[in-house]
Structure 1
Amino acid sequence: MDKKKILIIDDSPFTRKLIKDMIEEEPDLEVIDTASNGLEGLKKVLKQKPDLITLDLEMPEMDGFTLLRFIMA
């Protein structure tokens, strides 16, 4: 079975690391990349096509709600 590809989008380096460490404990999940704001996250979503995204709602440049609207459009 292929691993599910996950993109972590959060402005806190500590939180990104914490989420990454938890995800990597699961053998069927793989963190493919991280982003520190919504704008960077949008670029990575469009380029890498992750299966799952963890998304912080309050971030600089583009908040999580705005990013989600772009992804869902």
Structure 2
Amino acid sequence: MKTIDVMVVDDSAVVRKVVGAVLESAPGIRLLHAVADPLLAIERMKQAWPDVILLDVEMPRMDGITFLRKIMAERPTPVVICSTLTEKGAETTMAALAAGAVSIITKPKLGLKDFLSESADELIAAVRAAISSS
């Protein structure tokens, strides 16, 4: 089984750390990069392209939806959106799915670290499902 290389793009250092640890604990998944914004992601992707991208929406310098559209136009890659803005039926959720996201995980506004730890199975399943959808 091929290892799934994942990039995490989120401006929260806590999210990058916790999600990175969750992903690295999963057999067959490797954290390729964890960066704070899409512009850093673009630079890292020149070195090594991920199999799946776990992407926040609200970030400095470039928002996640704009970055998602850019990826899909240049080199379509499975993207899982992980954001506080993507509640079921929300406009941002619809925009992310329309732009090419394969799935959405809604982060809570409070208790983020505990949520991410408790949602480890959901995060891992979303990454595995994303790669099988490509």
Task: With the length of structure 1 as denominator, give the TM-score of the two structures.
Answer: 0.91
User: Which residue matches 1:18?
Assistant: 18
Q: Structure 1 stretch 12-21 or stretch 45-54: which is displaced more?
A: 45-54
Cα distance in 1 for partners of 2:66, 2:10 equals 14
Task: With the length of structure 2 as denominator, give the TM-score of the two structures.
Answer: 0.52
Secondary structure class of the residue paired with 1:21: helix
User: Which residue matches 1:28?
Assistant: 28
| Residue pair 1:42, 1:71 contacting (<8 A) in 2 also | no
Cα distance in 1 for partners of 2:33, 2:72 equals 20
AA aligned opposite 1:26: A
The higher radius of gyration belongs to 2
Query: Which has the bigger relative contact order, CA under 8 A and spacing at least 6?
Result: 1
AA aligned opposite 2:55: L
Runs of 4+ displaced beyond 4 Å? none
1:69 Cα deviation (Å)?
A: 0.8
How big is the alpha-carbon RMSD for the aligned residues of Structure 1 and Structure 2? 1.1
Q: Which runs of 5+ in 2 are unaligned?
A: 74-134
Q: Structure 1 stretch 10-19 or stretch 46-55: which is displaced more?
A: 46-55
Cα distance in 2 for partners of 1:53, 1:46 equals 14
Percent identity over the alignment?
Answer: 36
Secondary structure class of the residue paired with 1:50: coil
